[in-house]
Amino acid sequence: MVPILDEHSLDFISHSEAQTRRLGARLGELLQSGDVICLAGELGAGKTCLAQGIGQGLGIEGPITSPSFTLINEYRPEQARLPFYHIDLYRIEEAKETLSLGLEEYFYGEGACVVEWADRALQALPAEHLWIELRYIVETKRGLLMKALGKRYEQLLREFKRMAFGI
């Protein structure tokens, strides 16, 4: 059973790392240029695993690693539908640090963005985005709460619900 809080949100459980990647891949298949996916949750909650799936859904082949030290990894392989910008703000200590990163170029660029630790840069995020809060349940299970902010993301969430769960 997948609880729907309202038409702008979805709360469900992933039962394995492989399932989290598959769900991410389904989401990635739906992304368009300029889409911003914000991931939040404690260390080990599955943010990078979901981001890897999203990259796979965009057609990225090869390893997708967390850019914890570089902050931003760009994937632009020829086989991908869109450029994929994987942003990891774990090392950001103060929100104002994000202002010097040039995130707007990625948020409003030609690719799709996934931002890990997005809660560390709330004021730098676009007003409209898909927010995904991940939570650790047990070793193999993760809870995911998705919230759509804006018309594009409401549509994206509806498409994801239909594709992933048939609802």
Range of the domain at 101: 9-165
Residue 23 resides in a domain: yes
**Average pLDDT in the 21-31 region?**
96
Number of domains in the chain: 1
Residue 22 resides in a domain: yes
Residue 2 resides in a domain: no
Residue 154 resides in a domain: yes
Express each pLDDT in 47-89 by its tens digit: 999 999 999 999 998 788 876 667 888 888 676 789 999 999 9
Residue 55 resides in a domain: yes
Q: CATH no. for residue 157?
A: 3.40.50.300
Express each pLDDT in 98-143 by its tens digit: 666 778 888 988 999 999 999 988 888 999 999 999 999 999 999 9
pTM: 0.91
Residue 4 resides in a domain: no
**DSSP code string of the chain:** ----SSTTEEEEEE-SHHHHHHHHHHHHHH--TT-EEEEE-STTSSHHHHHHHHHHHTT--S-----TTTSEEEE--TTSSS-EEEEE-TT--SGGGGGGTTHHHHHTSSSEEEEETGGGGGGGS-SSEEEEEEEEEETTEEEEEEEEESHHHHHHHHHHHHHHH--
Residue 1 resides in a domain: no
Residue 41 resides in a domain: yes
> What was the pLDDT predicted at 1?
40
